[in-house]
Amino acid sequence: RKSEISIESSMEELEELAKAAGVEVLATTTQNRPAIDVALFVGKGKVEEIKTFCDSMEANLVIFDDELSGSQIRNLEDAIGVDVIDRTTLILDIFAQRATTKEAKLQVELAQLKYRLPRLTGLGKKLSRLGAGIGTRGPGETKLETDRRHILRKIDFIKEQLEEVKKVREVQRSQRIKSDLPIVALVGYTNAGKSTLMNTLLKMSLEYDVEREVFVKDMLFATLEVSLRKLVFPDNFTFLLTDTVGFVSKLPHNLVDAFKATLEEVNYADLLLHVIDASNEDYHLQKETTLSVLKELHVDSKKIINVYNKVDKIEDVSLVPKEEGSIAISALNNLNLDELLKLIEVEVGVKTNELELLIP
């Protein structure tokens, strides 16, 4: 393993990713080996152990934290008797769930097809057997049981479509979407606490109703399908909040375009809340990764508030960086959230009743 993060962190993250994909995680296990087993990736004994566990717990999926070859997948499935996927397939599945724009969907499908192509021998049998399982979801779940040439044609077709989408986007850029309310986007690593913060803020909001959310969404983002939630606080301080797909460590190179495309929401945001798990020993690394991707997306000039989360888990809170405009919170325990709202208000606060009227 060449990655900079520890095996423990990587496995923890894999578990979170699995949960994000709707998988119930029953157990995790690791193996230390001088080299991988070409046929089975892990050793025979480990495979036996996994099989026994799956049989007794009626588990129906095994997820490996590293990329597997087509034949390894086939061998493992034959030996264990359940579906086997790897980290990349899992991540692509999450991207497929989260892709909202046409470009994002195409990019994810392209990445899925490219990933499956060299693994066809291993996957052929499996894909015809799998129903709506992980790795078959999303736009890419078409006719993979047919031959390689079909996939290659499909890849060419998607590339053409992507060119078209990009042309359209160039045109649209000149008529950039305008919202009457400030848009705030949550960015950050998987497991940093983005959805927890979203929920906590929603609970604090004076008014929240689903109908209205849909309406706002239709009006402003009919073509983008960005999911925005409208939050209203005292004094009519109102903004739209959107979550984004979380960053992951070890993001395979061939998934970078798909990942960036699913981050489209940040383009339309007035303010980014960069949620950082301050209790994670790798948080500096995670923070840097996020910032460098934001830079690549050319959105690093947007206002960013660093939100150091999970401070309830830290014994010495003075260790949390105190940068200007940053804040230490606990999304779970409602710590410092009023202060966070004040910071948001300073950056994007719009306080007029007229704006309210625009959105009935």
Q: List contacts with ligand GDP (CB under 6 A).
A: 188, 190-196, 246, 309-310, 312-313, 330-333
Cβ 169 to ligand GDP, closest distance in Å?
Answer: 28
Residues facing residue 240 across a β-bridge: 183, 230
- Least distance in angstroms from the C-beta of 325 to ligand GDP: 20
Q: Report the nearest approach of ligand GDP to the CB of residue 215 (Å).
A: 25
Cβ proximity to ligand GDP, 71 vs 195, nearer residue: 195
Helices and strands counted in the chain (H then E): 13, 8
Residue placing its CB nearer to ligand GDP in the complex, 16 or 345: 16
Which residue, 339 or 356, has its beta carbon nearer to ligand GDP?
A: 339
Task: Give the shortest CB-331-to-ligand GDP separation in angstroms.
Answer: 4
**Minimum CB distance to ligand GDP smaller for 68 or for 192:** 192
Give the span between the Cα atoms of 305 and 275, in whole angstroms.
8
Give the whole-angstrom CA distance, residue 168 versus residue 170: 5
Q: Give the H/E segment covering residue 306.
A: strand 303-309
Query: 176 exposed, middle or buried (CB, 10 Å; 0-12, 13-18, 19+)?
Result: exposed
Report in angstroms how near the CB of residue 323 gets to ligand GDP at its nearest.
Answer: 19
Nearer to ligand GDP, 130 or 332 (CB): 332
Calpha distance 277→282 (Å, rounded): 9
Smaller CB separation from ligand GDP, 220 or 307? 307
Rounded least distance, CB 189 to ligand GDP, Å: 7
Give, for 154, the enclosing helix (H) or strand (E). Answer: helix 148-173
DSSP characters over 46-87: HHHHHHHHHHHHT--EEEESS---HHHHHHHHHHHSSEEEEH
